[in-house]
Structures are given as C-alpha cells and as structure tokens.
Structure 1
Amino acid sequence: MFEDRTEAGRLLAGEIAALSPHDPVVLALPRGGVPVADPIAGALNAPLDLVIVRKVGAPANPELAVAAIVDGNPPDVVLNREMVEAYGLSEEELDALVKQERPELERRAHAYRSGRKALSVTGKTAILVDDGAATGTTMRVAIRAMRRRSPRAILVALPVAPAGTVQELRLEADRVVCLSQPAQFRALSLHYRDFHQLTDEEVTLTLHAAARRRRTVLADWRKRKDAG
C-alpha cells in the first residue's frame, strides 16, 4: 500500500531514472496521474505535460465507448472498432459523435494548460503515467495516440495494476514499469492510504510548479555552460 500518489511517484522515479530514458517527456493522465508523474519529471529533469482522454459514447448508451479523443494539435481519435461495427456506425455518424465531445476535451485542455500548447513527443521518450490501472483501457488509448506522434519510445509507469493488465499494456508500449501487481487486485483506492479526489486547481498548481522547476534547471545549466 502506498501512502499517497506522491510517494508512489517517488518510488517509480527511482525505477525509471535507472533506465536512463533518452530525451524524456513525462505525460500524466489527469487528474490522478499528475502527482505521480511530478516526482518522475523532477528526477529526470524532464518537462511535465498531460495526456487528456475523452470517451466518445455510443448512441443512446453513452457509458459504452465507441471511440476516444486524445488532445493534441489536431486531437487524435482512437476507435473501438468492435463497438463501431456492432452499432453499424457510418463515418458521418461517428464524426458527429466525436464533434459532440471535442468542446469538453478542449475545455479541459485549456483549463489545465492555461492556453499552453501540448508538448511534442516526436523523437523523444514519452513516459505515460497514471496512479494505477484496472482494465488499462484509458492507458491503451493514450499509448495508441502517442504512437501516431512518432516518439522514439513509449514507456508506461504505474504504481499498481493487475498482472494481466500489465501484460496487455506491454503489447502496446515499448516498456512498462509497474511497482505492484497484486494477484487479487482490489479497487484502486484501496492501494493507497490517501486517495483523495484531486481538483482541477491541484492539477494546474502542480503543472505550474513543474514548469518553474524546469525553467530553473535549464537556467542553471546555461549558466554552467557559459561559465565553462
């Protein structure tokens, strides 16, 4: 059991730093992945950003995903082809469903980033982080979207997930680091002593603090370079 998400992030940071990932960009799945990702970004002196995923529900059954949108410029649409075929959705019908969800995706991206553009992962190691995974569905969508953006590699970092989910994610990512794979996976909250519901404000404060930390690291590096 982890004390909280930050502790889980510190433990993951040690494992990931030992891998010496090439030119890393740390990408958290909000909200829960943000405090886990922050210590990882700090340990790697890497930028921290988000991967925001919005489910696209089926007609008359919004809880059943026929696709998902991942923020970017432009956003990526990842289809659940089995469900698209089951509902017999045409391209026009699917486009209409996606358009319904784009405003909320864009609202969340703007709220969290305060207008900043998403970081590029082209040629870099994209490290995708969440506070855990039960089925891994959202993480798989994030991996597939990032794969289209031509990263050097995709590394998934999770504090806890069922062994079967980890194995499935390893088929999608280049590497998966998962600290705990309990045989009897319970509700994610039961693997943390503190698993409070994070607010949008906590997410934005963490992102701003990470950006300041990154600027300080780069400024110190430039000073040393100029002095040398």
Structure 2
Amino acid sequence: MLFHDRTEAASQLIAALPQRIGPEWIVLGIPRGGVPIAAAVARHLGAPLDVVVVRKVGAPGNPEVALAAVTGPDPSQRVDNAALRRSLGLGGQQVEAIAREEVAEVARRSKTFADARPPLSLKGRHVLIVDDGAATGTTLAAAVRAVRDQGAIEIVAALPVALSHGLDPLRGLGIEVICPHPSEPLAAVGQAYTIFDQVPDATVTETLRGSLRP
C-alpha cells in the first residue's frame, strides 16, 4: 500500500505541486473519489473548488476496465481506449451504444452538483484537475478535453498514483501531469490504498457547498 487513505494521498500530492500553482487557479475534482483529494488541494492553495463530471464506460464483461469515458450529453463525444476497443473488435457505434447509460449518469450527477452550487466558469482560467488515481488514463483524458472545451487557458492534471500505463493517454495533450507514483505495478488503483471507500454524492455536494468561491 502507498497510502493509508485519500487524506494521506492528498498530502503527498500537495507536496509535489509546483510553487507556480496558487490561489488564482481553479481546482476541479473528478467525482466522486477525486473530490476529497481535490478539496484538500484547494484548501492548501486557497483556491476555489469545483468538479468535472466524467464517467467511465466499462468494457463488456469487465466493467472495471475503461473502454471509454464520457463527459457530456452526446455519447459520440467521448474518449475511447482505442487499444482495448480494437482488441474486443468493437466499432464506434457499438461503443456509443454501451456508453448511453453512463451519459445519463453524467447528466444526473451534473444536475445534482449544479443544484448544490452553480458551476464555475473556466474560460480564460488556469485549471488543476485532480483524481485519486488512474488505471488506464481514459477518464482523465476525457476530463482534460471537457475542460479545454470550456475555454481553460492552462490545464494541469494531478493525481497521487497511476498504474503502469495509466498516464499514456495524457501524453501529447499538451498538459503537465503531477503524479508522485506514476507507474505502479498494481492491478487496480484501490490497491494503492488501505482505505479506499466509496464517496457518496452527498459528500460531494457538502464539500462543494463548504468550499471557497472566487
């Protein structure tokens, strides 16, 4: 185990942040597990906190493995795990059909969190995207694309741990990646934590309500 829990993971991540990242940045947590870590980072920086809602599209027969990731209302607008898609012999329309359920969940969560507090504008802002780990990197890549589409002028991704090839989809995206443990030989992100409990929607909404606003 690398971390006792997300609190310890956040401490290691904070220690790895470059000094140029400060209170003028917006910190975005990926719900739900990335939000407690993002909240700790935002408190440390004195920066505002928000979320970027992304959902993993699990592979048929192995839902823990990301076949794709979606961030919005259109299942055709997604980031695919191209190597896995090819190995399963799936076409784009087949992945789109599998993704529809997760698109609906993105819409539900987005409304839930927006009802708790209106989302921040990212246009012209420096944005730090935070998650609790990356297995394939597909979810983070989708989050980066969504944030870029909203007009952020600089994006940095920060996460405590990534599995062996978990950062590969972020290469070539033109962003900085901060990860204290970037290539761990683990079968799942949860294996890096002694305590890796589920984070409910209610915790995310409470965290958003109590966080700093610009």
TM-score, normalised on structure 2?
0.77
Deviations 1:167-204 (A, max 9, x none): 54242251000011344224222211211122222222
Identity of aligned residues (%): 37
Please say which of residues 80-89 and 157-166 is displaced more in the overlay.
80-89
Aligned to 2:91: 87
Over alpha carbons, which structure has the higher Rg? Answer: 1
Deviations 1:73-93 (A, max 9, x none): x99932549669953649xxx
Aligned to 2:77: 77
Q: Which runs of 5+ in 2 are unaligned?
A: none
Deviations 1:54-106 (A, max 9, x none): 35689x9996988643249x99932549669953649xxx6x88776554322
Q: 2 CA distance for matches of 1:8 and 1:57?
A: 25
Q: 2 CA distance for matches of 1:165 and 1:110?
A: 29
The reply to whether residue 7 of structure 1 matches residue 8 of structure 2 is yes
Aligned to 1:136: 137
| Amino acid across the alignment from 2:77 | V
Shift of 1:29: 0.8
Distance 1:65-1:192 versus aligned 2 partners, 3 A rule: closer
Q: When the two structures are aligned, how many residues end up with a matched partner?
A: 208
| Larger RCO: 1 or 2 (CA < 8 Å, sep 6+) | 2
Shift of 1:129: 0.8
Q: 2 CA distance for matches of 1:187 and 1:3?
A: 16
| Amino acid across the alignment from 1:87 | G
Task: Name the SS of the counterpart of 1:172 in structure 2.
Answer: coil
Q: Give the number of the structure whose residues are more often helix, by fraction.
A: 1
Aligned to 1:208: 209
| Amino acid across the alignment from 1:117 | P
Deviations 1:97-124 (A, max 9, x none): 8776554322211223325332222211
Q: 2 CA distance for matches of 1:113 and 1:131?
A: 22
Shift of 1:12: 1.4
1:26-175 alignment to 2 at 5 Å?
26-54=27-55, 68-71=69-72, 77-78=77-78, 80=80, 87=91, 89=93, 102-175=103-176
| Amino acid across the alignment from 2:140 | M
The reply to whether residue 19 of structure 1 matches residue 20 of structure 2 is yes
Distance 1:22-1:171 versus aligned 2 partners, 3 A rule: farther
| Amino acid across the alignment from 1:205 | E
Q: 1 CA distance for matches of 2:26 and 2:142?
A: 18
Q: 1 CA distance for matches of 2:40 and 2:51?
A: 14
Q: 1 CA distance for matches of 2:92 and 2:198?
A: 37
TM-score, normalised on structure 1?
0.73
Q: Which runs of 5+ in 1 are unaligned?
A: 219-228
